[in-house]
Amino acid sequence: MKKVIFGLLIVAGTLIGCQENSSDMTNELQSKVDMSDFYVFTDEYGSKGDSNTKESRECHSMNVLNRQLKENSGLYKKMYDVEYNTRKFIGAKGKPTGTGGGGSGGGDSDVDVAIVPDNLGVINIPVYIHIVYPNANSISNAQVSSQMDVLNADFTNTNVSQLPSGTNFANDATNAGFSFSLAGTFRYDDPKASWGTNNSVKAAYPPITPETHLNIWVCNIGGGILGYAQFPGGAASTDGVVLGGEYFGVTGGVYGAGRTATHEVGHYFNLRHIWGDGRCRQDDFVADTPSSDSSNGGCPTFPSVSCKTADMTMNYMDYTYDNCMYMFTDGQRNRMRALFAPGGARFLMSGS
Ligand SMILES: [Zn+2]
């Protein structure tokens, strides 16, 4: 009965409202945002590479997030609001075609997500680099430049040709549409041997205009940790990305192709790890990354199957070696760009 009355009210509203208002109301009803699967606190452990630490990338973004959630009771609400706005932006236009797939616990052959149209063009991100080492000149301008080149390539290339035969990921690989420009490099000679992941490097050398600039700190983190990022919704004073110097830019070695920055900027742009930092039932909120039960390390031979489907181990948001990860998906593109649309958490960075 209530439904009938509600329906009548909608009809009445449509009849008495002006054309624009009734259209808005219809859109609002059609784009009802489902937040029922939202979560933030994660099981950050559970890497398939844990039995051999040499095979597992060490990103501490989720560990840092879990700590911040404990310390700051208001953070959950802020992240909920960012997510709500993201899902509203994606709406019906970014809904997947195909069946099953990357949603909670699903698994299937192929899910294709449409790119949500926007008028943002290529979004340019101005970047400040803070180099903090006993000898800050040990990180050269050439190394900085090589990192900028990798970011610019990874956020625009689809790299479809690198996909192994047998995958159906070619229609998912995306040009995310971001460019990065170096706004300034700052070097600080600091004798501190390692900085950990407690944001102390940011307290010592605060970010510059984090509302409009991506701040990256390059320092020795310690503990074999490659980097960590702060998700949108966190405090401005700690906003940005921290990278270990040996993983910054093109330095050689399995994590030396500059992809740690790509992965961490992915978090900074609100991407979760593709396994959702949990088991099959936990999701990364991206429909065209198949469900996965944990991270993949090293350089897996396709297919690496979990949750009944092949994992997208070549996604920048897995834990594989730098040269074995080379794509974002259309669904990830939509999530990232949602932040830069009006109402988005990083709207001020869009230059609009
Ligand atoms: Zn990560």
Q: Ligand 1 being an ion, which residues bring their Cβ within 5 A of it?
A: 59, 61
d(CA 148, CA 128): 11
Here the tokens at position 206 are: 């605060």
- Angle, helices 75-90 vs 61-71, to 10°: value is 120
Looking at residue 37, its amino acid is: D
Length of the chain: 352
Rounded Cα gap, residues 311 and 318, in angstroms: 9
Per-residue pLDDT of the chain (352 residues; tens, 9 = 90+): 333 333 333 433 343 444 444 445 445 555 589 999 999 988 765 556 544 444 678 999 999 999 999 999 999 999 999 999 999 999 978 878 754 444 433 444 589 999 999 999 999 999 999 999 999 999 999 999 999 999 999 999 999 999 999 999 999 999 999 999 999 999 999 999 999 999 999 999 999 999 999 999 999 999 999 999 999 999 999 999 999 999 999 999 999 999 999 999 999 999 999 999 999 989 999 999 999 999 999 999 999 999 999 999 999 999 999 999 999 999 999 999 999 999 999 999 987 6
Q: In this predicted structure, what is the pLDDT of residue 104?
A: 39
Q: Is 58 a catalytic residue?
A: no
- CATH class of the structural domain 38-350: alpha beta
253 class by beta-carbon count within 10 Å (0-12 exposed, 13-18 middle, 19+ buried): exposed
- The pLDDT value given to residue 8: 39
Which one, of 251, 250, 248, lies nearest residue 260 by Cα?
A: 248
* 311 CA → ligand 1 middle, Å: 16
Residue type, 306: S
Q: Which residues contact 301 (CB under 8 A, 6 or more apart)?
A: none
Cα 286 from Cα 330, distance rounded (Å): 9
Beta strands in 135-205 (DSSP E): 178-189
Which pLDDT value is given to residue 55?
A: 63
Cα–Cα distance measured from residue 264 to residue 223, given in angstroms and rounded to the nearest whole number: 17
What's the rounded Cα separation, in Å, for the pair 72 and 85?
21
Active-site residue identified among 44, 58, 83, 264: 264
Cβ atoms within 10 Å, residue 40: 19
260, 321 contact by CB (below 8 A) = no
Q: Tokens representing 115?
A: 């790119």
Residue 266 CA to ligand 1 center (angstroms) comes to 8
How far, in Å, is the centroid of ligand 1 from the Cα of 53?
Answer: 16
How many whole angstroms separate alpha carbon 222 and alpha carbon 19?
A: 61
Cα dihedral: 61, 64, 69, 74 (round 10): -80
pLDDT for 321: 97
Q: How far is the CA of 5 from the centre of ligand 1 (A)?
A: 48
Q: Return the amino acid letter for 262.
A: T
**Radius of gyration over every alpha carbon of the chain, rounded to an integer in angstroms:** 21
Return the pLDDT at 109.
59
The tokens describing 130, both together, are 């803070």
Domain ranges of the chain: 38-350
Q: What's the one-letter identity of residue 45? A: Y
Distance from Cα 44 to the centre of ligand 1, integer Å:
10
Q: What are residue 342's phi and psi, to 5 degrees?
A: -50, 130
* Cβ burial, residue 239 (10 Å; 0-12/13-18/19+): buried
